[in-house]
Amino acid sequence: MDHFDKNDTLKLQDNMKSVEIFRLFGDYFNTRGFKKKGSMVYRINDYISLCLFFECTNTGSVYFDYSFFPIIMSSCFFHYTYGGRLQDISPGRHTSLTVPYETEESIQKWVQIVKDAVDSRLIPFYQMIEDPKTLLNYLYSNEKDNIFSCSFVDRIMLTAYLEVYIGENPKKILSFLEYSKDCLLHSPKVQISEKGRLIKIEELDVLASLTKGTEVEKDCFFNNIKNDMREKHFGLERIYNL
């Protein structure tokens, strides 16, 4: 199933639909434990999902996007905050298709580059961050700028949620939450509206109250978020025994 023929290529040129792009990959994603939803395939665990997308533009280009999407933070829309495009991890290579100017050979080469990137870079990294402590360590490390192509605010908020989610050192967590509020109020790196700033500060106050509360309260808070995110973005049923 990992091959394609001339008919597949012609369909891709005519329609530019994600279903035809997936056809080029056969059962590749399925054998690696991914589920398909629209133009996305994903693997999801208890707090985060690895999501891979095929982005078909109205200019005839096809891009491969990847994202590490936390489900312990509320978001009303799906975005690529913690990821990027194939060109970010395979620079200088043939990282996008431009239909109908591709040959069957160049399409096959592109498919193989995508597979190589998933197998050698994305899945191994995802396996590492399946433990939220590992992801938190990355967020504090000097490697964070090479891993997360997201805004300063998003990175701060993800760190805050992970700190509370893991919950190992309440004093350290509360100190970080105060630092985060100070950043939101005064850092020039914060590029959001005043309303957005206040919403984030309210979130940090809620996280602080959870740090001072019981484990039952904290579990209930995160379970509700996880269920909402699973339903909203992946169409998954609620889980009541998380």
* Contact indicator for 208, 166 with CB cutoff of 8 Å: no
Which DSSP state fits 168? S
Q: What is the pLDDT of residue 123?
A: 95
- Domain ranges, ordered by start, for the chain: 6-129, 151-234
101 phi, psi to nearest 5 deg = -90, 5
Q: What is the pLDDT of residue 15?
A: 44
- Tokens in use for 160? 């805050």
Q: What is the pLDDT of residue 80?
A: 64
Q: What is the pLDDT of residue 10?
A: 34
C-alpha–C-alpha distance, residues 66 and 39, integer Å: 12
SS (H, E, C) 101-112: CCCHHHHHHHHH
Q: What is the pLDDT of residue 79?
A: 65
Could you read off the pLDDT of 38-49 as tens digits, one per residue?
889 999 999 999
C-alpha–C-alpha distance, residues 90 and 170, integer Å: 40
- Which residues, other chains included, contact 195 with Cβ-Cβ below 8 Å and sequence gap of 6+? none
Strands 40-44 and 83-85 turn out to be: unpaired
Could you read off the pLDDT of 185-219 as tens digits, one per residue?
999 999 999 999 999 999 999 999 999 999 999 99
The pTM of the full predicted model, rounded to 2 decimals, is 0.86
pLDDT below 50 — which residues of the chain?
Answer: 1-16, 242
One-letter amino acid of 198: L
